Amino acid sequence: MQGGGGPLLTGTIGESKAYNCDSEQRERAEAQSENVKHNSHAELDSGSVQHCVLPVTPDRFRNKFGMTPAEPVLQLNPIKNAAFTMAEILLSLTIIGVVAAITLPSLTGNINERTWNTQRKALYARFSQAIALMPALNGYGTLRESTDSAGSTSIEDTAAETFITSGLAKVLKINNICDSEHIEDCGITSKLTTLNGSIISTPTKMSELNMKMIDNSWADSRFSYAQLDTKAAAFETANGESIIAFYNPNCQSLMGESTAYMVQPKICANFIFDMNGNKGPNTVGKDIGFMTVLYSTDSAVVAPDVPVQKAASRSATQQEAIGICKEQDAEYRIPSQDELASMFVNQLLLNGAVASTGTDYWSSIIYNSTTGWTQGFASGTRALHGREEKMTVHCVKR
C-alpha cells in the first residue's frame, strides 16, 4: 500500500525471513505501518525504513475495496456460465430462415419492379427522341411478291431489318441486329408470359402478333386497305435491352379523320422489348413491354404502362369509365386513343388471344359534348359513339 507519497511496503504475506533492519528500526517501521493503516493521510519516515522492509501480513494489506485477500469478493452476478444451448441456436436460425424465405422474394420482386419501371421510362424517352429525329418512317426496305418457275409465290421482305439498319441505327445506339430467323441471337426468348398468365410463342411476323393487322375481309369498302404480312427483326440496344420490331413500310398520317377509320394503316412500327434479355421472368408488365409508333408524319410514340384487366368485363358510359378506373386504383385511368391503338395491336400480349367478336373500349378523348372516341379490338376500327352509350372499360396505370 502507498501512503502519502511514501515508499511501498513490500513482501510476502506470512513471510518469516530475516529483514535488513535492527530492532529499533523494526519497531519504528511497525509503528509507522500501524499509523498508515488507520490514517490514510499519514506519511512514512523514509529514512527509518530505507533498509527495513516489513512482511506484508493480512492485517497490513488491504486492496482498494478495503478487503484483505482472505476476505471473500462480492459476487455481483450470481449467474454462472450463461450461454445459449445448441437447440436454442438452431431454433433461432430456423426462425430467421423462415422469415427470410417469406420476405426476401417480395423484397426482391419490389426492387426488380422499380428497376424495370425506371428502365421502361428511360427506354420510352430514348425512343421518343430517336423517332422524332428520323426524317421518315415509311419506305424502308424491299417488300414485293415474286413467283418462281414452279408457280410458288414468295415475298422478298427486308422491311423491318432495313428499318433498323438504315433508320433507327442512325439515331439510336444499337449493338446487334438479327433477322426474323435468328431473333434469339439478340436475346429474344422463344416464349412469353402474357399479362393474364398465358404462355405464348414470341411472334416473328405481323400476322402472328395480330392477324387483324393484315386481314380486313370483314369491312366494307370505306375501310379497305392493303398491308402485307411483314417479318419481324430484332436488335439489342447499348443499354442492354432486347427489342423485336414489326414494321409497316406503307404507314399513313392521321389526315384529320373525323368519323370512323381503321388504325392498322396508321401503325408505322411496333416494338416488344425485354428489359433484361432472356433472363426472366419474361412476363408482360414486368420485364416485357411494348411500344407503338403511329402516323408517318407528326408521329406519336405510345407505351401503355402496365395495362390492367380488372375492369375489362364492365360496361359503362365514358364518364363512368373514368370513375371505374379510379375505383381500381388511384393510379389507374382510361387510355388515350393512341394507347388503345397500341393495345389493339398487342392484345395477344395482354390476353393470350386476339378478340374475335365486337369489343369496343372507351378512350379518354372527348370529340364534343355528346360524343367520344372508342377503339374496336375485334376490327381495329376507331369510331365515335355517344358518351352515354355503354362500352367496355380498360384501364392503364398512369
Say whether pTM exceeds 0.75: no
The pLDDT, as a whole number, for residue 256 is: 74
Same domain for 202 and 63? no
Classify strands 315-316 and 391-392 as parallel, antiparallel or unpaired: antiparallel
The pLDDT, as a whole number, for residue 9 is: 43
For the chain, what is the domain count?
2
Classify strands 381-386 and 199-201 as parallel, antiparallel or unpaired: unpaired
Residue 81: count other Cβ atoms within 10 Å of its Cβ. 4
Same domain for 133 and 25? no
Classify strands 381-386 and 360-366 as parallel, antiparallel or unpaired: unpaired
**Of the candidates 263, 379, 375, 380, the residue with the CA atom closest to the CA atom of residue 318:** 375
Question: Which triple of cell numbers denotes residue 363?
Answer: 378512350
pLDDT in tens, 76-123: 555 555 678 888 888 888 888 888 777 766 666 677 788 888 899 999
Backbone angles phi, psi at 332, to 5 degrees: -95, 150
Same domain for 119 and 66? no
Percent of the chain topping pLDDT 70: 74
Same domain for 159 and 46? no
Residue whose C-alpha cell is 432472356: 278
- Walk across the sheet containing 305-308 and list its strands: 305-308, 395-397, 332-333
**Of 70, 91, 125, which marks where a domain is finished?**
70
CA distances from 292 to 68, 90, 95, 344 (A): 92, 55, 49, 10
Same domain for 182 and 126? yes
Same domain for 127 and 4? no
pLDDT in tens, 127-173: 999 999 998 899 898 877 777 777 777 778 899 999 999 999 999 99
**In this model, does residue 317 exceed pLDDT 90?**
yes
Nearest-angstrom CA–CA distance, 42 and 39: 6
Same domain for 229 and 374? yes
- Under 8 Å between Cβ of 296 and 252: yes
Q: Please check whether residue 130 lies inside any domain of the structure.
A: yes
Residues near 241 by Cβ (< 8 Å), separated by ≥ 6?
A: 119, 123, 273, 274, 275
Q: Please check whether residue 12 lies inside any domain of the structure.
A: yes
Nearest-angstrom CA–CA distance, 330 and 308: 13
- Under 8 Å between Cβ of 58 and 66: no
Same domain for 197 and 338? yes
CA distances from 390 to 263, 317, 320, 378 (A): 22, 5, 9, 17
Range of the structural domain that residue 314 is part of: 113-143+155-397
The pLDDT, as a whole number, for residue 208 is: 95
pLDDT in tens, 255-269: 877 788 999 999 999
Question: Which triple of cell numbers denotes residue 289?
Answer: 413491354
Nearest-angstrom CA–CA distance, 305 and 294: 17
Strand partners, 385: 372
Same domain for 197 and 51? no
Handedness of CA 276, 282, 287, 288 (dihedral sign): positive
Same domain for 138 and 35? no
pLDDT in tens, 19-75: 455 666 666 666 666 655 555 444 545 444 444 555 555 555 455 455 555 555 555
Same domain for 285 and 223? yes
